[in-house]
């Protein structure tokens, strides 16, 4: 479907105005181009554009983009629901993050790709009509947002800001990197991004790169042809192809081997994928969402991760704070888990005493939300009370206390003992789920297997 709508283009380069006017005219309801940003408000009132394409750099400074931010502010002051796309030849991660936070919807780079440009404008027009469509659209948007955030529990300032950013970013096709400690809920953020996007009726494909043997990485991501390698008995579609039209969520992106990072970069840049054992390329349209608890910038410095791939996957970076920094969200989440568990086990829904709440709030939660969920399940199943007391809340020993009791014996600090105890605690917290335990420890599942074998656990 062609993007039918009214577009206002603001740029001081006459060649850019001419090119965009010629390009957009056959695909839109109407196009107006102006070279003086001082006339933007005038055209907003007389022309009522669905989308404004705004150059970031005018005469004052060739690359800083400061004038673009100033005019964006004036546009949103005149119409808080205005949909603005920045046009610039100088795209950086810092600019992208600042622009989204300031209220822009997306970037159009110079020189632009025609198909991507039209796709971005189509999404922007849809967003504009949702924002300006009246009470019914507002109500539907509110219900969609509420559904998307069903599992994203939290009212702390950091989480409210993250939800606000999520709604803005979801309206674009920008690639997103979700960072945070293990167990903070990065997969929940990825699902919310998909649910709030225009791709919500298409596939959401999740692949945990920390759980795939090195020999299967390429086949899982890109697929393979029959006979491409030993045991390739049939043709297999890769996860990237399966996500065509939808969202591809690559969890633990730091585990992707270097030789496949280049291949993923090609997929992102060319929107094409080639199966193992085939010279044919297939066009794919996917939004890439990645997640990690690793320091990718440090990995770049150590030449363990490609810098150009990092730039591609973190157009926008969304950070999930650790649970210990979220204050009363701990109690909201605890009650959410108790309610869900009551339904799961067909038990009465218990409440938390003031002392139990105080105990939960004081705990450091190194396992984050996943540890809290396990704690609530353990406490609820073993308690006979309708109100859980502080004694019903069984917490894992952590930090200094854990080190003193389990790793430091007779004044001697033994590294293997520390590793052995850390693995046992992680496995206990995760109820024997080695994949989750590996995530909590910050290693891959296969590295955990090797350590278990080496340490005789």
CATH number at residue 424: 1.10.10
* Torsions phi, psi for 364 (to 5 deg): -85, -15
The predicted pLDDT at position 403 comes to 40
Q: Are residues 388 and 406 in the same domain?
A: no
Inside any domain, residue 302 = yes
Reported as a single tens digit per residue, the pLDDT across 216-227 is 788 888 888 888
The predicted pLDDT at position 132 comes to 64
| End position of a domain, from candidates 113, 133, 153 | 133
The predicted pLDDT at position 264 comes to 92
| 210: containing domain | 162-319
* Torsions phi, psi for 232 (to 5 deg): -85, 80
Q: Are residues 250 and 343 in the same domain?
A: no
Q: Are residues 69 and 87 in the same domain?
A: yes
CATH number at residue 354: 1.10.8.60
Q: Are residues 167 and 315 in the same domain?
A: yes
Mention every residue, 6+ apart, whose C-beta is less than 8 A from residue 396: 367, 371, 375, 402, 425, 428, 429
Q: Are residues 124 and 198 in the same domain?
A: no
**Does the bond joining 50 to the residue before it have cis omega, within 30 degrees of 0?**
no
Q: Are residues 103 and 244 in the same domain?
A: no
Domain count for the chain, please give it: 4
| End position of a domain, from candidates 359, 392, 425 | 392
Q: Is residue 332 within 8 Å of residue 155, measured between CB atoms?
A: yes
Q: Is residue 319 within 8 Å of residue 179, measured between CB atoms?
A: yes
Dihedral in degrees, nearest 10, Cα atoms 144, 327, 182, 376: -90
Spans in the chain with pLDDT lower than 50: 1-2, 60, 134-143, 399-412
Q: Are residues 383 and 411 in the same domain?
A: no
Q: Are residues 44 and 123 in the same domain?
A: yes
Q: What span, in angstroms and rounded, lies between the C-alpha atoms of 205 and 286?
A: 10
Inside any domain, residue 377 = yes
Q: What span, in angstroms and rounded, lies between the C-alpha atoms of 187 and 318?
A: 12
Q: What span, in angstroms and rounded, lies between the C-alpha atoms of 135 and 128?
A: 14
Alpha helices in 384-455 (DSSP H): 399-402, 415-429, 434-441, 445-455
CA 405 to chain centre: 38
| End position of a domain, from candidates 392, 412, 446 | 392
Inside any domain, residue 144 = no
Of 251, 103, 260, 106, residue with least CA distance to 186: 251
The predicted pLDDT at position 233 comes to 74
What region, left, alpha or beta, does residue 198 occupy, with left being phi > 0 and alpha being psi -120 to 50 degrees? Answer: alpha
CA 195 to chain centre: 12
The predicted pLDDT at position 455 comes to 74
The predicted pLDDT at position 334 comes to 94
Q: Are residues 256 and 357 in the same domain?
A: no
Exposure string for 5-33, b = 16+ CB within 10 A, e = fewer: bbbbbbbebeebbebbeeebeebbeebbb
CATH number at residue 261: 3.40.50.300
The predicted pLDDT at position 412 comes to 43
Q: Are residues 353 and 373 in the same domain?
A: yes
Q: What span, in angstroms and rounded, lies between the C-alpha atoms of 369 and 350?
A: 19
Q: Are residues 294 and 330 in the same domain?
A: no
The predicted pLDDT at position 410 comes to 44
Inside any domain, residue 120 = yes
Q: Are residues 419 and 343 in the same domain?
A: no
Mapping DSSP to helix (H, G, I), strand (E, B) and coil, where does residue 118 land? Answer: helix
């Amino acid at each position: 479907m062609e993007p039918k709508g009214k577009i206002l283009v603001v740029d001081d380069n006459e060649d850019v105005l001419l090119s965009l006017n010629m390009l957009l005219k056959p695909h839109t309801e109407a196009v107006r181009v102006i070279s003086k940003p001082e006339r933007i408000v005038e055209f907003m009132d007389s022309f009522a554009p669905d989308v404004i394409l705004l150059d970031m750099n005018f005469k004052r400074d060739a690359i800083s983009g400061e004038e673009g931010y100033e005019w964006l502010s004036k546009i949103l002051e005149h119409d808080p629901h205005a949909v603005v796309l920045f046009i610039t030849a100088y795209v950086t991660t810092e600019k992208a993050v600042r622009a989204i936070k300031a209220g822009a919807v997306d970037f159009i780079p110079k020189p632009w790709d025609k198909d991507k440009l039209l796709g971005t404008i189509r999404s922007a027009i849809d967003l504009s009509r949702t924002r300006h469509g009246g009470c019914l659209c507002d109500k539907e948007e509110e219900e969609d947002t509420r559904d998307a955030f069903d599992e994203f529990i939290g009212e702390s300032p950091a989480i409210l800001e993250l939800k606000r950013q999520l709604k803005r970013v979801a309206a674009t096709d920008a690639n997103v990197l979700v960072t945070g400690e293990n167990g903070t809920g990065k997969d929940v953020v990825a699902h919310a991004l998909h649910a709030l996007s225009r791709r919500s009726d298409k596939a959401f494909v999740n692949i945990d790169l920390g759980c795939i043997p090195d020999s299967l990485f390429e086949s899982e991501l890109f697929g393979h042809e029959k006979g491409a390698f030993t045991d390739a008995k049939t043709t297999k579609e890769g996860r990237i192809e399966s996500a065509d039209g939808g969202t591809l969520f690559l969890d633990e992106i730091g585990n992707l081997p270097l030789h496949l990072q280049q291949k993923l970069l090609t997929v992102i840049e060319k929107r094409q994928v080639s199966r193992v054992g085939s010279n044919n390329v297939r066009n794919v349209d996917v939004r890439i969402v990645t997640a990690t608890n690793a320091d990718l910038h440090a990995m770049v410095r150590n030449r363990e991760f490609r810098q150009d791939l990092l730039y591609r996957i973190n157009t926008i970076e969304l950070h999930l704070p650790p649970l210990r920094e979220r204050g009363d969200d701990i109690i909201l989440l605890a009650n959410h888990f108790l309610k869900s568990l009551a339904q799961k086990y067909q038990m009465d829904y218990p409440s938390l005493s003031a002392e139990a709440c105080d105990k939960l709030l004081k705990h450091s939660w190194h396992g984050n939300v996943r540890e809290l969920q396990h704690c609530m399940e353990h406490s609820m199943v073993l308690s006979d009370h309708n109100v859980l007391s502080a004694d019903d809340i069984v917490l894992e020993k952590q930090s200094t206390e854990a080190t003193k009791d389990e790793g430091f014996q007779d004044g001697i600090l033994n590294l293997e003992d520390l590793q052995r105890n850390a693995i046992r605690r992680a496995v206990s917290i995760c109820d024997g789920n080695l994949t989750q335990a590996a995530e909590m420890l910050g290693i891959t599942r296969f590295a955990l297997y090797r350590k278990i074998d080496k340490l005789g656990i």
